[in-house]
Structure 1
C-alpha cells in the first residue's frame, strides 16, 4: 500500500502538475480573445486547443525558448532538491542550451505543443473533478447542486461525502501518470543535440587531459625534490661529516623550497581554473636542476649549443621538465655517478641528450633495472639510491615529446643509459 500511494506523497508529482497547468494558462488567455469562454461549444473547445499552436511554433523559433523550456523542465519535472527522493540528483537528460539548429527548433516546437495539449487536458479534467467534489459535498450537506460539473454526481444524501476521495484519487493518479509521460518525452525533445553532446565530450576530454598534466607536473616536481632529499639524507648519514651534512641540508632546503613553489602554482591552477598559472621554469633556469643534482653527489657536465633563449615558452618549459625527470632517474636508480647533458638548438629543433653510466649489475644484465637501494655491485647503499620506480617518469617524457610533435628515446646505449629527446621549435 505505501508503494501504491507513493506518487501522492512525492513533491515532484505536484511540481509536474504545476508545470502542466502553466501551459494551460496560455491557452485560456488565447481562448478569452477567441473563441471566447462564454458558453463554449465543442467546436469552441477544439479551437481552444488549436488557436495557441501557431504562437507556440513562432516562439519555438527563438533560440532562447529552448533554454527557457529546458530550465523549467529540469526544475519542475525531475527529482531534485525539492523532491523527497534519495536519488534527487539523477541526470534528467535535458539540455539548457539555446537552439543551435532548425532541428532543435523543431523539437522545441513539438515539445511546446505537446505540453499545451497535455496541460490543457489536465486543467480541464482538474476543473471537472474538483467541481464533482463540490457537488458531492453539497449533496452531503443537503443542498445538492448539479450545475457545477458535466459529470453526473450521485445524490446519496450524507453518504455522498464517502465518495469525495474517489475523484480526488483519480485526479492525483491521473496527474502523476501524465507527469510521468511528460518526463519520458522530455529527453528526446529537449535533450542535447549531437553538437552539444560532442561539445560536452570535448570538455570532458579536456578536463581529463588537464588532470593528467597536473598529475605529471606533480610527479616531476615533487618526485625530483623527494629524490634529492632522500639521496642527500642517506649520503649525509653515510658520510658522518658535519660539513657535508651542512651542505646536504642546504641542498634539501633549496630543493624543497622550489618544490613548494611548483606545488603552490599547481594548486593555484586547481583553485582558479580560469586564471593563468604563474610562470613555470624554463630551460634558461636549468642551472637550478644541475646544482641540485651536483649537491646530491652527481658529477654533472652540461654543454649548450645555440640560442636557448629563443626556444618558444611551451617547448622550453617541457624541455625543463624532461631534463628534471632525466636527472631524477639518475639519482634514483644510479646514485652519485657522472652525468653528461647536451643541449643543442639548431635546424629548428631542440635536442636534449642526457647520459650516465649504467651500474655494473645492470650493464651485465643487459640494462635490467637494479634492485632499489643497491649499488652496482649488488650491495645495499643507503646513500646512493632513492629507490625504484614504476616507469611513469620515462613514459611522461615520451608523452611530453609526442604532444609537442617531437620524439624521445630512452634506454641503455652500450654501457650507458640515455635519454634523447628532439623537439621542434618552429
Structure 2
C-alpha cells in the first residue's frame, strides 16, 4: 500500500484526531457564553480562540494537570496496543506532577497549543465534512442535505465520485496535525532535566544492584563448586574411605550453604517483599576455613582485634573477599598451605591471604579470572583498595578497608 495512504489504516491516526477534537470543547463552550455561535464572523472566531487562553494558562499552574495531560498524550498520541503499526520509539512524555515553575509554564503552553490546534482542526473537519455531505446530497438531488457549499440545483451523479475526496483530505490533515501534536508533546510534556537525572540515577542503582547480585552469585556458587571439585579430586587421589566420607560431608555442607545463599539472592530478584535474610560476616569465617581444610588445604589463621565489632558492610564484604580469595587458591593452586591474616586496627581492616605459587597441581581448576576483579570492585565501593601479585615466591592478596564509611 502506498505510504501516502498508510495513515488511513493506523488506529493512532484516529486517536490523535479525537485528542485534537476534545481540545476544542473548551473554546466552543466559551463561545456559547460569548459571543455565541450564531452568525459567527471571522473576528468572532478570533475572539473565540483568544478567550480560553488565560483559563488554559491558569490550569497549567496546577501540578496534577501535567500528570493528566501526560497520560492522555501517551494513550492517544502515540502508537501502542491499539495501533496496527507499532512505533519502537519511546513516547518521551512524562506522567509526573509538575515539580517546578518551568514544568508549569511548559504545561500551560501545551494546553494553549492543544486548545488552538483543536479549534482549528474542529473547524476544518466541520467544513470538509459539510462539503462531503453537500457533494453526496447533490449526487442524489438532495442539495439541501447539508449547508450547501456548492451552487447545485440539479441532480449530478458525478458528484458521488467527489464526495469521498473531502473525507480523505480531512483524514490526511488530521494525521499531519496529530503527528505535529505528538512532536509538541515530546517537547512540552517531555521529562525535565531533574526528571532525567532522577531516571539516570535509578538506572545506575539498578546496574549497581545487578552487579552486586552477579558478584554474590559468582562468589557463592564459585566457592561451592570449586570446593566440591577439589574435595572430590582429593578423595579420589587419596583412595581412603574415611577421607572420602569426610570429603562427601564437606561437599554436602558446602552445597547446603550455597543453596541458602542462592535462595537469598533469588528472593531479592523476585522482589517478594519478604526479608532477604542476613549475609554472613567476617566473624563467621571459620566455616570458610573449615571448608578449605576439608579439601586437603592447610590453613593458618592469624586474627588481631575483635571481628564482632566491625561495621556491618565492611564485615560482610570482607567475608566475601576472603571467600573469593580461598576459592582462587583452591582453583589455581589446589589444596596447598594457605596463610590468612586478619588485622582490625583503629581505623582500618587489613586482610592478607598468602599461598605458594601454583605448580602442577593435579586437582587445580581453571577459572575465568573474574575473582580478583570482583575483590577490587568490592574494596573500591567501600573506599579501600585491594592488590594481588607475586611476593617472595608466594602469591599474596592484600586488602585494606577503612572502618569509617563515607
- Superposed pair shares fold, TM > 0.5: yes
Cα displacement (A) at 1:227: 0.3
Change (3 A) 1:340 1:127: same
**TM-score under structure 2 normalisation?**
0.95
Equivalent-residue separation in structure 1 for 2:185 and 2:117 (angstroms): 13
**Distance in 1 separating the partners of 2:343 and 2:271:** 36
2-side partners of 1:337 and 1:388: how far apart? Answer: 16
Name the residue aligned to 2:82: 82
Q: 1:221 to 1:397 in 2, by over 3 A?
A: same
- Between 1:215-224 and 1:122-131, the stretch displaced more is 122-131
Map residues 170-249 of structure 1 onto 2, 5 A cutoff: 170-249=169-248
Residue 253 of structure 1 and its aligned partner are, at CA, apart by 0.6
**C-alpha distance after superposition, 1:231-288 (max 9, x if no partner):** 0111111122221111111111100111111111111111117665321000121111
Partner of 2:298 in structure 1?
A: 299
Change (3 A) 1:302 1:207: same
Alignment partners' CA distance in 2, 1:293 and 1:420: 19
Question: Aligned partners of 2:201, 2:219: CA distance in 1, in Å?
Answer: 27
Report the CA distance between 1:168 and its aligned residue.
Answer: 0.8
For residue 285 of structure 2, give the secondary structure of its aligned residue in structure 1: helix
C-alpha separation between the residues in 2 aligned to 1:146 and 1:88? Answer: 41
Structure 2 regions of 5+ residues with no counterpart? none
Q: How far 1:88 moved relative to its partner?
A: 4.0
Equivalent in the alignment of 1:370:
none
Tell me, what secondary structure is at the counterpart of 2:24? helix
Match of 2:45 in 1: 45
Partner of 1:93: 92
Matches for 1:122-137 after TM superposition, within 5 Å: 122-137=121-136
Report if aligned partners of 1:81, 1:89 keep a CA contact under 8 Å in 2.
Answer: no
Distance 2:298 2:272 in 1: 40
CA contact (8 A) 1:154 1:160 kept: no
Are 2:36 and 1:36 aligned?
yes
**Superposed counterparts of 1:23-422, under 5 Å:** 23-85=23-85, 87-145=86-144, 148=147, 151-152=149-150, 154=152, 157-272=156-271, 276-359=275-358, 361=359, 374-375=360-361, 381=362, 384-385=363-364, 387-422=365-400
Which residue of the partner structure matches residue 22 of structure 1? Answer: 22
User: Is the CA contact (8 Å cut-off) linking 2:130 and 2:146 kept in structure 1?
Assistant: no
Question: Could you give the per-residue CA deviations for residues 319-372 of structure 1, whole angstroms, max 9, x where no partner exists?
Answer: 10011011111111111111111112121211111111223x5xxxxxxxxxxx
Could you give the per-residue CA deviations for residues 287-335 of structure 1, whole angstroms, max 9, x where no partner exists?
A: 1101100000011121222111110111100010011011111111111
Alpha-carbon distance in 1 for matches of 2:194, 2:272: 24
Counterparts of 1:81 and 1:31, CA distance in 2 = 36
* TM-superposed deviation, 1:154: 4.6
DSSP-derived class of the 1:38 partner:
coil
For the Cα contact (< 8 Å) 1:80–1:89, is it kept in 2? no
User: Hey, what's the Cα distance between the residues in 2 that align with 1:24 and 1:61?
Assistant: 20
| TM-score (norm. length: structure 1) | 0.91
How far 1:416 sits from its partner (Å)? 1.4
SS at match of 2:350: strand
The change in CA–CA distance for 1:127 and 1:28 in structure 2 (over 3 A counts) is same
In 2, Cα distance between equivalents of 1:57 and 1:273: 44
Shift of 1:146: 7.8
Name the residue aligned to 1:368: none
Distance 2:367 2:331 in 1: 8
- Alignment CA distance shift 1:204-1:273 (3 Å): farther
C-alpha distance in 1 between matches for 2:323 and 2:386: 15
Counterparts of 1:403 and 1:397 in 2: how far apart (Å)?
A: 10
Task: Point out where structure 1 has 5 or more consecutive residues left out of the alignment.
Answer: 362-373, 376-380
- How far does the alpha carbon of each residue in 1:29-57 deviate from its partner, in whole angstroms, 9 at most, with x for none? 11111222122222221111111110000
